[in-house]
Structure formats: structure tokens, C-alpha cells
């Protein structure tokens, strides 16, 4: 199958871990014999503005090959505060680049917004178009961003959509006004990379204290992930634990400075920034619990990775998180988004956590191969064919 991919989220030399799940998906689809043409349009920042994040974007190569997939990054004019205009520009530049590079059997908007804005262009060209939702690209866009009407129109134009969680599929079904229409195409987890490891050995490699409990927080330091709530929950858990409770935050984002200020001089809290997948394996092995305090989620990869690594999770009730933790809901999903409720789950798991093999077995069916097969089914359905 010749698959065109239009996305705003993909790894680059400047941001090597951003969208690694997308890279895993499309390199895997290529390995299964599909021809993958991937385009990631980037907003253009004039020279005087090209600092910080804008500078990173400007330095991203226009063309590179990643794991056998050629990634092209054309630029488009981005005007702050003009979301609809920017989505249209993104779609036009992306579609033009895809059309120049390849004739696609099907095109996937792999991160729903703004790529969904290419749906009218695909319809005009007679090319099947699939909108793939991952989380904020649907929920935040249709919610706080106030673009629900636009996204709904593009869903109806495309006619085919899928998402990484059932919760998200149903949200897209409501927008598209077609109950039961969307498909679940979950991300997979690398079961060979993420396996139960020796806690003491991992702590030694990372330079961590061998004693006490370690709570791991993995994700962007942004308001939606609420790392300050995670910090408050960890502090509350210390009060109910008779041994040291330490914390490690892995990730970067605009709340990093606020988190650093809140923990200045506080022993037992490490702000590690982003880490490579190889190093992340050791962090899961070193941890006692993964803590996820998101206000909104698609189907978080960190939960998959922690469970595959044999480590329990404490999480808020957000999107598809509870779907992954369904076998352990009473023990791992907090009833409220409060430090006390989260701390109660943490301390209970410190005292009595499920065995690593039990945790891993809960997600063993979510391999990348199973994910690829679900995606192939969705794409073939969009084409009007059969597997």
C-alpha cells in the first residue's frame, strides 16, 4: 500500500524524542512492505523571531531519513492567533508536497489538527483520507481552542477516522455525528525493550540511593500534565510512608522553572529533563510506581511502558488511561484529582503492588504488530477494499 502521512508531530535532530511513537509506527509499516511518504509541514519564523522553540523549528532539516522513512519538512507562513488560517496553510503546503513526492493510495492525518484541514483537498483529488486522533489534537482543539466546528466538518469530509483509545474514538464519533463509526487503532509497546528489570542494579546505574521508594513522573512539563499536582501528591505520600519517598521528573516544558522553584533545596527530587528510550528503561526498572496526573489524555504510552516493565501506575481518571488500567482500577486510578487521593493510591502500592508478571500480562496483547494490523484494517476500509 502507498501511504501518505501528513503530521505536525515527528522526531527530529532538535527534538529526538518528540513523537517517537509515530516514528515507531511508520517505520514499522514500512518494514511490513508499505511505501510510506511522510510530510511534516513546519511554521516559518522570520529571522528576528527565531529564538528558543522557534529557533529549534527553524534548524530542523528540510529533508532527512529516519529509520528508513524519508521525512520532508516544507515551511508555511504561521500567523500567531490565526488558527484557522494556519491550519489551511499547513494543509495546502503539506498536500502539495505529498502530491509532488508520491501517488498515495490513502493519506493519513496522523495528528488530527491541523492535518485534518487537508480533508477537502483529498476529497477533491479523489484520494481516501483518514484522520487519526491521539489526544489533545482532538480534545483540546475541540474544547479550549474552540475549533470543534472546523474539526467536525473535516471528519465528515474525510469519512474515516480512528484513534488510540476508545474514549477518543467516541469523542470523534460525536464530533462527526456518526456513533460507532470510528476505529480503535492503539499504539503498541515495545515488549522487547520494556521488560521487568533489577531495581537495585538500575538505581546503581542511575546514581540513585538504593533505599526508599521512587515515584517516576514521565511527560512534558505542561499544564495539561499537571506536574505540580504530581509533586503535591508525592509530598503527601511521604507523610504516610515510614521510609524515604523520592521523585524523578523526566521531561521538559514551560513549567520546568516553576517546578524547579517549587523543589529548590528539597532533597529527594530530581528534574532530569528528556531522556533517551534506552535510559528510560533503567528509570522504569529503578522506580516503584509511575505517577500520571494528566487532566486529559489519549492513551498514554508511558502507562504501556511502565506496565510492560512490571511497574504499577497511579493515575487520574483521564481519557484512555483508565482503559489501560481497567484490571487494576480500584488500586491505581484515583477517585479525585487531589494530592490526598493520589497519595493514598501511592502508599497502598508501596505496601502491596501486583507482581511484575501480572502487570505485564495486562498489556501483552498490545504489541506493535497488533497495532500495525489494526491500522492496516482501517486504511483498507478507507480505500473501500478488504484485507
pLDDT tens for 141-198 read 998 889 999 999 999 999 999 999 999 999 999 999 999 999 999 999 999 999 999 9
Q: Can you give the residue range of the structural domain that contains 125? A: 2-188+367-383
Instruction: Tell me: do 241 and 178 sit in the same domain.
Output: no
Instruction: Tell me: do 100 and 213 sit in the same domain.
Output: no
Q: How many CB atoms lie within 10 A of CB 2?
A: 13
- CA 38/CA 8 separation, integer angstroms: 10
- CA 92/CA 280 separation, integer angstroms: 38
Total residue count of the chain as it appears in this document:
387
- CA 92/CA 98 separation, integer angstroms: 10
Contact 139, 147 (CB under 8 A): no
pLDDT tens for 246-259 read 999 999 999 999 99
Average pLDDT score, the chain: 93
Q: What is the CATH number of the domain that holds 228?
A: 3.40.50.2000
H runs (alpha helix) in the chain: 20-31, 52-59, 83-101, 112-115, 119-125, 136-142, 148-158, 166-176, 199-206, 227-239, 256-262, 277-286, 301-308, 321-324, 329-332, 339-351, 356-361, 368-383
Instruction: Tell me: do 208 and 167 sit in the same domain.
Output: no
Instruction: Tell me: do 137 and 43 sit in the same domain.
Output: yes
Query: Is the model's pLDDT at 49 over the cut of 60?
Result: no
Categorize the per-residue pLDDT at 385 as very low, low, confident or very high, splitting at 50, 70 and 90: low
Q: What is the 3-state secondary structure (H, E, C) of 341-378?
A: HHHHHHHHHHHCCCCHHHHHHCCCCCEHHHHHHHHHHH
Instruction: Tell me: do 207 and 60 sit in the same domain.
Output: no
Task: Please count the structural domains in the chain.
Answer: 2
Contact 37, 2 (CB under 8 A): yes
Instruction: Tell me: do 11 and 118 sit in the same domain.
Output: yes
Q: At what angle do helices 20-31 and 368-383 cross, to 10 degrees?
A: 70
Instruction: Tell me: do 96 and 243 sit in the same domain.
Output: no
Instruction: Tell me: do 204 and 123 sit in the same domain.
Output: no
Query: Is the model's pLDDT at 47 over the cut of 70?
Result: no
Q: Which of 387, 380, 378, 384 is nearest to 110 (CA)?
A: 378
- Residue 297 within a domain: yes
- Residue 194 within a domain: no
Categorize the per-residue pLDDT at 386 as very low, low, confident or very high, splitting at 50, 70 and 90: very low
Question: What residues form DSSP beta bridges with 365?
Answer: none
Instruction: Tell me: do 62 and 168 sit in the same domain.
Output: yes
Query: Is the model's pLDDT at 7 over the cut of 90?
Result: yes
- Residue 29 within a domain: yes
Q: How many CB atoms lie within 10 A of CB 314?
A: 28
Instruction: Tell me: do 149 and 224 sit in the same domain.
Output: no
Instruction: Tell me: do 93 and 239 sit in the same domain.
Output: no
Categorize the per-residue pLDDT at 308 as very low, low, confident or very high, splitting at 50, 70 and 90: very high
Categorize the per-residue pLDDT at 371 as very low, low, confident or very high, splitting at 50, 70 and 90: very high
- Residue 246 within a domain: yes
Most confident of 28-32, 77-81, 323-327: 28-32
Instruction: Give the model's pLDDT for residue 314.
Output: 98
Instruction: Tell me: do 111 and 209 sit in the same domain.
Output: no
- Residue 281 within a domain: yes
* Cis preceding-peptide flag for 114 (omega within 30 of 0): yes
Query: Is the model's pLDDT at 387 over the cut of 60?
Result: no
- Residue 193 within a domain: no
Which pTM was predicted? 0.88
Take residue 247 and report the three cell numbers written for it: 521523585
Amino acid at each position: 500500500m502507498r501511504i501518505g502521512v501528513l503530521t505536525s508531530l515527528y522526531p527530529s535532530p532538535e527534538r529526538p524524542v518528540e513523537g517517537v511513537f509515530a516514528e515507531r509506527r511508520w517505520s514499522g509499516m514500512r518494514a511490513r512492505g508499505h511505501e510510506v511518504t511522510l510530510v511534516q509541514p513546519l511554521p516559518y519564523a522570520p529571522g528576528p523571531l527565531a529564538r528558543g522553540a522557534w529557533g529549534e523549528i527553524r534548524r530542523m532539516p528540510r529533508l532527512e531519513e529516519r529509520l528508513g522513512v524519508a521525512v520532508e519538512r516544507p515551511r508555511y507562513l504561521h500567523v500567531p492567533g490565526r488558527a484557522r488560517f494556519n491550519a489551511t496553510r499547513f494543509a495546502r503546503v503539506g498536500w502539495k508536497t505529498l502530491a509532488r513526492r508520491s501517488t498515495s493510495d490513502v493519506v493519513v492525518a496522523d495528528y488530527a489538527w491541523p492535518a485534518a484541514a487537508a480533508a477537502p483537498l483529498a476529497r477533491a483529488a479523489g484520494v481516501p483520507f483518514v484522520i487519526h486522533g491521539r489526544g489533545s489534537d482532538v480534545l483540546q482543539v475541540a474544547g479550549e481552542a474552540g475549533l470543534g466546528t472546523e474539526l467536525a466538518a473535516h471528519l465528515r469530509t474525510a469519512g474515516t477516522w480512528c484513534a488510540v483509545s476508545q474514549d477518543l474514538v467516541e469523542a470523534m464519533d460525536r464530533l462527526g455525528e456518526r456513533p460507532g463509526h470510528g476505529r480503535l487503532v492503539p499504539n503498541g509497546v515495545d515488549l522487547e525493550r520494556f521488560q521487568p528489570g533489577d531495581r537495585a542494579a538500575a538505581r546503581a546505574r542511575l546514581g540513585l540511593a538504593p533505599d526508599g521508594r521512587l515515584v517516576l513522573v514521565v511527560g512534558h512539563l505542561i499544564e495539561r500534565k499537571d506536574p505540580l499536582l504530581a509533586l503535591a501528591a508525592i509530598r503527601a505520600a511521604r507523610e504516610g510512608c515510614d521510609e524515604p519517598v523520592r521523585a524523578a521528573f523526566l521531561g521538559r516544558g514551560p513549567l520546568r522553572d516553576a517546578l524547579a522553584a517549587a523543589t529548590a533545596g528539597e532533597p529527594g527530587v530530581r528534574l532530569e529533563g528528556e531522556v533517551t528510550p534506552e535510559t528510560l528503561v533503567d528509570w522504569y526498572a529503578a522506580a516503584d510506581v509511575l505517577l500520571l496526573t494528566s487532566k486529559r489524555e489519549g492513551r498514554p504510552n508511558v502507562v504501556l511502558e511502565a506496565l510492560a516493565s512490571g511497574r504499577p501506575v497511579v493515575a487520574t481518571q483521564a481519557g484512555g488511561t483508565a482503559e489501560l488500567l481497567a484490571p487494576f482500577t480500584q488500586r491505581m486510578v484515583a477517585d479525585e484529582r487531589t494530592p490526598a487521593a493520589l497519595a493514598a493510591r501511592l502508599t497502598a502500592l508501596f505496601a502491596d503492588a501486583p507482581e511484575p508478571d501480572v502487570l505485564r500480562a495486562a498489556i501483552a496483547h498490545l504489541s506493535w504488530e497488533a497495532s500495525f494490523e489494526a491500522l492496516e484494517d482501517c486504511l483498507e476500509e478507507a480505500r473501500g477494499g478488504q484485507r
